[in-house]
Structure formats: structure tokens, C-alpha cells
Amino acid sequence: MDLSSPRYKNQGVHVDMVVFTVDERRVKILLVRRAREPFVGQWILPGGAVYDDESVDAAAKRELKEKTGLGNIYLQQFHAFGDPKRDFRKRMVSIAYLALIDRKKVSVLQKTPKTLNARWAEVGKLPSLAFDHGEIVEFAIGELKKKLMNSNIVLNLLPKKFTLPELHNVYE
């Protein structure tokens, strides 16, 4: 493999996070409003570039903190998205993460210099998302459904003490 080949120029790696919560008995996803072109003002998933000196996991944690103020939450890689046309500016591969958080642990989403604002949007009622983030969300929903049936991942969506009806609502 010749890394000096012009076929490798103009490429980048990003991370995108699909952050799920349950609020008012509804599954919601965290979205941020993009602060710069392209797609300024449009809704996207929190995410961004992987720097040369960091791992993709470290980049995911950093980007989530920078874009929303959220830190110390469960993150797990679930897929890589690499369509050559997913970003018209250059070839961009995105490593996607699934994140789960108890809504009661998040009082206010912080406005940051990198986003216009952030909000929770109900699955099934999401606005149009920029880039290929709609495809990423759909894939994440499928992954979450699989994990709910085969692991205890659901505990990340619930408070330390929860009732059986609360648990039932998450599985519905």
C-alpha cells in the first residue's frame, strides 16, 4: 500500500454519537444545531474530527463534551459509515457511537461555541438531519433494539433505583 498515492489525499475520520434517553416514556435522541457551513443551522448528531494524536474513543468523548457539555456517559462503537459521497467536501469516514444516558442526570444541555443549541428529539418525530445522519440514526435504532434483547445495556437509561413499570416502559 502506497500512502503517498494521490488516491489517499483529502481524507478524514470523524466520530458521530447517537445519544439515546427515555423522557416522559418516550425514547429520544440528542441533536445539535450546526454552527457553521455547510448546513449551518440544520440539525445533526453531535460529533466531529478525530485529531492526529487521539484515539477514536477519546475523540468521541471529547466531541460529545465540546458539543453538548455531556461527559462520563456510556459510549460504544457500533458501525463505520464510509460512503465516498457522505460529505461533499472530502472523503470522510465516520465511526459511529451509541450512547445511553438517564435523562434525570442531565438537567440542562450546555450551549457551546461549536453548536447553536442542543435538544432532545423524539424517535419517530425527528427533523430532517444534515449529511447522512438520518441513516446513522436508523442503524443505531436497530443496534439498540438488538442490545436491549441481548444485554443489560438498558440500565444506562434508568436511574440507580427504578420501578418495574419504568423498566417496562423502556422495553416498550
DSSP assignment of 83-134 equals -TTSSTTSEEEEEEEEEE--GGG-S-PPP-TTEEEEEEEETTSPPPBSTTHH
Residue 132 DSSP SS3: coil
Q: How many CB atoms lie within 10 A of CB 120?
A: 18
Please compute the mean of the pLDDT values over residues 15-30 and round it to a whole number.
91
Q: Are 45 and 127 in contact (CB under 8 A)?
A: no
- What's the pTM value of the predicted model, to 2 decimals? 0.84
Q: Residue 157: which pLDDT band, with cuts at 50, 70 and 90? A: low
In the chain the first and final C-alpha atoms are separated, in Å, by: 49
Please compute the mean of the pLDDT values over residues 13-35 and round it to a whole number.
91
Q: Kindly state the percentage of the chain with pLDDT values over 90.
A: 47
pLDDT at 171 over 60: no
Q: Are 86 and 41 in contact (CB under 8 A)?
A: no
Range with lowest mean pLDDT among 22-26, 56-60, 134-138:
22-26
Q: Are 83 and 3 in contact (CB under 8 A)?
A: no
Best-predicted range by mean pLDDT (6-10, 129-133, 157-161): 129-133
* Higher per-residue confidence, 157 vs 127: 127
Q: How many CB atoms lie within 10 A of CB 26?
A: 14
Query: What's phi and psi for 71, nearest 5 deg?
Result: -145, 165
| Residue 168, pLDDT score | 53
pLDDT digits (tens, 9 = 90+) for 47-70: 999 999 999 999 999 999 988 888
| Residue 103, pLDDT score | 79
**CATH superfamily of the domain spanning 11-171:** Nucleoside Triphosphate Pyrophosphohydrolase (3.90.79.10)
Cα torsion through 53, 3, 12, 135, rounded to 10: -120
* Higher per-residue confidence, 36 vs 167: 36
Please compute the mean of the pLDDT values over residues 84-90 and round it to a whole number.
84
